[in-house]
Amino acid sequence: MTSSVVSLGLKFKALSSNITDEGITAHYGGDSPWGKGGVNRSDHNRCPTIVRAWHDYHLSKGWSGLAYSAVVCPHGIIYQGRWANRRTAANGTNAGNQRSYAVCYLAGGDDAVTTEAKRAFHLSAALLRSSLRWRHSDWKSTSCPGKPIRKWSQAGWPLPPGPNPLPPNPPHPTEEYFVTPEDERKFEAMLDRKLETQTNGILEFILRCARRTCLASSSTSWPSGPL
Helix (H) or strand (E) holding 209: helix 201-212
Asked if residue 226 lies in contact with residue 153, where contact means CB atoms within 8 angstroms, the answer is: no
- Considering beta carbons, is residue 103 or 198 the nearer one to Zn ion? 103
Per CB under 5 A, 119 contacts Zn ion: no
Per CB under 5 A, 52 contacts Zn ion: no
Buried b / exposed e over 128-137, threshold 16 CB at 10 Å, is: bebbbbbbbb
Q: Kindly determine how many residues on this chain lie close enough to bind Zn ion according to the rule CB under 5 A.
A: 7
- Considering beta carbons, is residue 126 or 150 the nearer one to Zn ion? 150
Sheet holding 176-177, edge to edge: 132-135, 24-28, 101-105, 70-72, 78-80, 5-7, 176-177
Per CB under 5 A, 136 contacts Zn ion: yes
- Considering beta carbons, is residue 73 or 123 the nearer one to Zn ion? 73
Site string for Zn ion, 77-116 (x = CB under 5 A): ----------------------------------------
Burial class (CB in 10 A: 0-12, 13-18, 19+), 36: exposed
- Considering beta carbons, is residue 147 or 194 the nearer one to Zn ion? 147
CB of 170 to Zn ion, least distance (A): 10
Contact set for Zn ion, span 182-211 (CB under 5 A): none
Per CB under 5 A, 47 contacts Zn ion: yes
Contact set for Zn ion, span 8-37 (CB under 5 A): 27
Site string for Zn ion, 153-182 (x = CB under 5 A): ------------------------------
What residues does 5 pair with on adjacent strands? 78
Segments of the chain assigned E as strands: 5-7, 24-28, 70-72, 78-80, 101-105, 132-135, 176-177
